Chain A
């Protein structure tokens, strides 16, 4: 598992990367009430805002962690946004492939992320 400074987790399974937000981020957001996901097949650029999350407090974004393409989205989140608060590590947002797999190496591992949020 890899982590970004935007509080995303990335799980690389043979080139298909599953992306969610960390429990830390979910706690900060509070109760999630709305999630807007990207379209399957969309080409995304690192840093581009591709997911909108609205909590009871405010709206925020998830940006694409890498350049690539969206290959699957978690429809369950659109119906039940509270899944993010129940288990952030299980409530994935989308799966993507990337044209820049080498950038995965530059991301934080679990220990580095824990240090980052302390």
Chain B
């Protein structure tokens, strides 16, 4: 099954841990371990989970004026980002849609950008075309691990002293066993935690050192998806696509004032003509939380109707499943922008119209150390 898939640095460790490997973003990736998705999810919320996210793209941008250059392709305030800090960003398209979402950090003499695994080649095309005077490098010699959960701080501090002092969205370079770690206090679970870029040749030893701690279990992609869904975070390819604008995706908060109409560096990014007016006027549809009223999960692709008999859909579920911490099905999707929280819509599940309540996100309130 995994013959023509690329292998990541921790492939042997995943096999040893009993990881069930599936194709994801062109790599063989662990979807779950023997504990199972539900237990892995709950363990992450309760203690700490270790995720291998080495499929993601780690990109370094060097050269003078790199921050100003990156502002040509993303509608974020890059120049105002202090050294040692990280921010959420979006690569936008000329039509106003989203090419990918990403994290970018100011690491002093360079910018460090982390992008989705499935999109990293396409993202590199956008970045190298948009920043022709800068050195844009997709790293292939570093793994990326995420340690998430309330025990993450104590666990990582015991191996890498200094991380406890970091605040949410801080980035630091620290060393472990002679290896240079690039650490950010961030994640994709709604829990406090860290994402750690580690040299590939140290990745297994570092992962083993983390797993040797009592509170740490390995967590697969299955639980990563349910954790981020409960935390209200969009998944590129489902909740965010080339056809959805950042404003529709309820990500307007990620576009700082300085890049908006009237700001000192307003516009100047792909799709500005679409996105900036939409910021002022509001979108016709927006990403929203959806709570199925029954027990049946509503998954990606379920169409939403205003009533049990209406013939024209008003929206669609883009992510959905069972929320282990919520204890019921949870979903997110696109609904008319004037659809208030508390509104009942009907999802078409196997030919039946089942009620679902439009609700604010997230389902699980994040516990970050700000």
Chain A residues near B (Cβ < 8 Å): 30-31, 33-34, 36, 52, 54, 56-59, 78, 81, 85
Contacts and interface: CB of A to CB of B under 8 A. Distances in A.
A56 B322 contact: yes
Contact of B296 (A30, A31, A54, A58): A54
Contacts of A58: 299
Contacts of B39: 31
Contact of B321 (A36, A52, A56): A56
A28 to B, nearest CB: 10
A56 B32 CA distance: 11
A57 B324 CA distance: 12
Contacts of A52: 296, 350
Given A30-B222, A33-B322, 19 more contacts: A30-B32, A30-B37, A31-B38, A31-B322, A34-B296, A52-B296, A54-B297, A56-B36, A56-B37, A56-B41, A56-B222, A56-B226, A56-B321, A56-B324, A57-B37, A57-B222, A59-B297, A78-B295, A85-B36
A36 B222 contact: no
Contacts of A56: 36-38, 41, 222, 226, 321-322, 324
Contact of A30 (B36, B297, B350): B36
Contacts of B299: 58-59
Contacts of B37: 30-31, 56-57
Contacts of B321: 56
Contacts of A57: 31, 37, 222
Interface in B275-299: 295-297, 299
Contacts of A78: 295
Nearest to A85: B36
A78 B299 CA distance: 19
Interface in B4-47: 31-32, 36-39, 41
Interface residues of B, number: 18
Q: Mostly helix, strand, loop or mixed at chain B's interface?
A: mixed
A107 to B, nearest CB: 27
Contacts of B36: 30-31, 56, 85
Contacts of B322: 31, 33-34, 54, 56
A113 to B, nearest CB: 22
Contacts of B324: 56
Nearest to A33: B322
20 contacts: A30-B32, A30-B38, A31-B36, A31-B37, A31-B38, A34-B296, A36-B296, A52-B296, A54-B296, A54-B322, A56-B36, A56-B226, A56-B321, A56-B322, A56-B324, A57-B31, A57-B37, A58-B299, A59-B299, A85-B36
A21 to B, nearest CB: 16
Nearest to A28: B20
Contacts of B295: 33-34, 78, 81
Nearest to A35: B295
Interface core residue of A36, A56, A59, A85 (most chain B CB under 10 Å):
A56
A57 to B, nearest CB: 6
A58 B38 CA distance: 13
B40 to A, nearest CB: 10
B35 to A, nearest CB: 10
Contacts of B41: 56
A33 B323 CA distance: 10
Interface in B320-346: 321-322, 324, 329
Contacts of B31: 57
A68 B2 CA distance: 42
Contacts of B38: 30-31, 56
Contacts of B296: 34, 36, 52, 54
A52 B36 CA distance: 20
A56 B38 CA distance: 7
Contacts of A33: 295, 297, 322, 329
A6 B297 CA distance: 23
A33 to B, nearest CB: 4
A30 B222 CA distance: 10
Nearest to A79: B295
A34 B350 contact: no
A36 to B, nearest CB: 7
